[in-house]
Structure 1
Amino acid sequence: MNINPLIKSDFNVNSLVKQVSLATRTRVRNVSLNKFRWNKNYVLGFVDCHLIHYPTPIGLTYAWSFGSLAGMCLVIQIITGVLLSMHYSAHVDLAFLSVEYIMRDVPNGWFIRYTHANGASMFFIVLYCHLFRGLYYGSYMKPRQLLWCSGVVLFLLVMGTAFTGYVLPWGQMSFWGATVITNMVTAIPFGGQTIVEWLWGGFTVNAPTLRRFYSLHFLLPFIIAGVSLIHLVLLHRDGSNSPIGSDTGVDDVPFYPYYFSKDLFAFTCFLLFFGVFVFFFPNLLNHPDNCIPADPMETPKHLVPEWYFLPFYAILRSIPHKALGIVAMLGSILVLFLLPFTYTGYIRNTTYRPVFKIFYWVFIADFLTLLWVGQAPITDPYILLGQYASFYYFSFFIFLFPIIGIVETKLASYQVK
């Protein structure tokens, strides 16, 4: 049997299946909207279409709850952040004292502050799980390329928000973290020093810097909320990705009550996990040096970012050249935009991709290795281990990802033959 006609016919079948899927989901949504059109209540029709009778693949597991959990984390961070801003003072002489005032004198201020501080870590735990789930189940594949790219944009915005927020307590790690990170901008060949001085509001990290970071930190969550709405629009346009890789839509069920109850249970378990850190280990995920007021004259012995930045920090310091290290750190995130355009196969679920599955779990181990190396001392063997881990990180996305897709397509063709 000739391989090419076989593959061509498979793609024709897939195209027909996608047309049927789109028609099915469109019909279900139109029926939901028409139920409320008789009394001109478009709001209820919209809610019914996108929350109640929204067609959802029947095989979704709890791994699909991380998206809604990320939305809940965003709401928690915005509410607690607004409450903290009522008592915070964005001045270098008062910032640290205002945080202490919130902790000691504001009624339930300790709870609000610990919820906000640990909420950032919870947000990143959920985001990383959501990202790795999408990578495992092929959420980057057609027709969800824009959905995946919008998720990467959200990830970048959340990282920017977390960094600007980490500066606000004005402790030792806050001050020196802002100094180190902003100094990276000087690696830009033309205008780098000018941009840094604009970020600082002068020639050093000082009061204008803190005010700029406070303004950005207050603004970015609302930008994230707007981009999240775009992310949801793209999700509801293309539909949720089925675990088995099917987009037929014939086995879809309404979101309510099936997945509403599942997401509610997942959120309850998440709150219990969250509460353990807030009430029993509130400072476990924070650096102890940040409980010391900022001192420009004393550098911390071991300068490290928050744990959720450690994999990218390990990539940065694994390259001796400053400019190349910064490019590699930024590239480690931007490379995620390439996934929808570099994958050459047509199988979504990694469960049915035996070759890719091996490299996928090696990649997970590699990412955890980078996280561990990022907080280790800058000595051997950690430097060498970080370089090896960084090499595999980029090789996975740039070389292995498209090559494995070609190999698996060939293997599937030979098996059919």
Structure 2
Amino acid sequence: MKDNPIIKIVNFHGIDYPTPVNLSYWWNFGFLSAFCLGIQIITGILLAMNYTPYVDLAMASVEHIMRDIDYGWLMRYTHANGASMFFIMVYIHIARGLYYGSYMSPKELPWCVGVVIFILMMATAFMGYVLPWGQMSFWGATVITNLFSVIPIYGTEIVTWLWGAYNVGNATLNRFFSLHYLLPFAIAGASLIHIAYIHKDGSNNPLGINGNIDKIPFYPYFYIKDLYSTILFTIFFSCFVFFAPNILNHPDNYIEANPLVTPAHIVPEWYFLPFYAILRSIPHKAGGIVAMGAALIVLLLLPFINTSEIRSSNFRPIFKKAYWLFIADCLILGWIGGKPVSSPYIEIGQIATVYYFMFFLIIIPFLGHVEKFLAFCPPVRKISSAN
């Protein structure tokens, strides 16, 4: 039995995997992200059994699930709020990776696969937001798919292909439903690759130093830590599902889609707002689309533009200040993304967008050279004169 290759893989990655002894609870958010993915896949399959991807029946089928199916309301609220929980866990997971230098060599591949997972998540969540076929669903799909029209030569053909017709309609809904059902399995596969790459080179740790010296088996020590964090997360998640299930959703999406009535203010889900703010901060349509795409691409480039040899921000005082300014900047972008396109929100969004790209393209590469210079400079000693 022990010679079974499957047993060996499970044993290495889930039981005997040598883990740095000093991992903090910040490392639990990777497991919690996988936990959220599992919840989304299970509830999504159950919802798909009763959902009707037809424009005249989509919202009615959602109401049928909520009112007539046993525990349908629980499945729907868990899936809808689970998307927000998934993004919260992933955003914290990315923030931890940035703080502790999880993108540095030899972690380039796990980081890049993680960014691909994040992009797939965004695509999946966007298409899932369209499925209830409310006002925000319809107009969000119209606005976002029209962005592809700026692609030279083939832009119009790509938009028509996405729609499946010459306007957002039933063919669009069917395509989005099919892709929304399939993409989570692609995310699950990419997550396994992500974990395999991490385990191949060993996990990072809060000190950012070689963790091969002091390691312990993953089981039972980190099983207990993951179990504890999962219990706390489940309580947090349940508060939304049972007491405030609609607080994270836009009220206009409970109105059936009407192509003849444009909402006063079209906004995406909250987890897209920082990127939506970057899109709107550039006055030119094509420029805004390029900037929004670049905001994701720059995450892929991060391991290759980094010049620092120090992983943990605990030992990088200048970078730590820039990092927390970056976190505040992302929160500001999220706030701006939900505001109208008017002054002073436009100017604030433009300043925040500049700092977003400056952090990755200027501060991170530049600080690495500064740190190397300071490391080789002799310390300046004060000479006190005797009285």
With normalisation by structure 1, the TM-score equals 0.90
Partners of 1:301 and 1:415 in 2: CA distance: 61
Residue 393 in structure 1 maps to residue 347 in structure 2: no
Q: Residues 265-344 of structure 1: matches in 2 within 5 Å?
A: 265-344=228-307
User: Which of 363, 374, 387 is matched with 1:411 structurally?
Assistant: 374
The C-alpha deviation readout for 1:319-345, integer Å capped at 9, x for no partner, is 110000000001101100111111111
**Structure 2 contact 110–198 (Cα < 8 Å) conserved:** yes
Distance in 2, matches of 1:108 and 1:414, equals 66
Contact 2:104 2:303 (8 Å CA) reproduced: yes
2:339 is equivalent to residue 380 of structure 1: no
- Secondary structure class of the residue paired with 1:56: strand
In the aligned structure 2, how far is the partner of 1:413 from the partner of 1:267? 45
**Letter aligned with residue 96 of structure 2:** R
Match of 2:132 among 147, 169, 180: 169
1:122 maps to: 85
Distance 1:216 1:332 in 2: 24
Post-superposition CA distance 1:253-309 (Å, at most 9, x none): 110111110011011111000000000000000000000000000000111000000
Cα distance between partner residues in 2 of 1:51 and 1:228: 14
Distance 1:248 1:98, change over 3 A: closer
Structure 1, unpaired ranges of 5+: 1-35
Partners of 2:10 and 2:164 in 1: how far apart? 46
Partner of 2:55: 92
Q: Which amino acid aligns with 1:193?
A: T
Q: Which amino acid in structure 2 is aligned with residue 304 of structure 1? A: V
Letter in 1 for 2:231: T
CA distance in 1, matches of 2:296, 2:75: 31
The match for 1:243 among 187, 198, 206 is 206
Cα RMSD between the aligned structures?
Answer: 1.1
Structure 2 residues not aligned, in runs of 5+:
381-387
The yes-or-no answer on 1:348 pairing with 2:307 is: no
Q: Would you say the 8 A contact 1:171–1:290 is kept in 2?
A: yes
Residue 39 of structure 2 corresponds to: 76
Shift of 1:313: 0.2
- Matched with 1:22 is none
8 A contact 1:363–1:393 mirrored in 2: yes
Structure 1 residue 416, shift from structure 2 partner: 7.2
Between the aligned partners of 1:97 and 1:238, the Cα distance in structure 2 is: 50
What secondary structure, in the 3-state scheme, does the structure 1 residue paired with 2:78 have?
helix
Matched, 1:262 2:237: no
- CA deviations on 1:59-118 (whole Å, 9 max, x unpaired) are 100100011111111100000000000000000000010001001111100000000000
Question: 1:240 & 1:248 partners in 2: Cα distance?
Answer: 8
Q: Specify the code of the residue in structure 2 equivalent to 1:167.
A: V
**How far is the alpha carbon of 1:42 from its aligned partner?**
3.5
Aligned partners of 1:355 and 1:408 also within 8 Å: no
| Residue identity in the other structure for 2:27 | W
Cα displacement (A) at 1:47:
2.1
Give the TM-score taking structure 2 as reference length: 0.97
Q: Aligned to 2:377, what secondary structure does the other structure show? A: helix
- Residues 235-254 of structure 1: CA distance to partner in whole angstroms, max 9, x if unpaired? 11011101111124110111
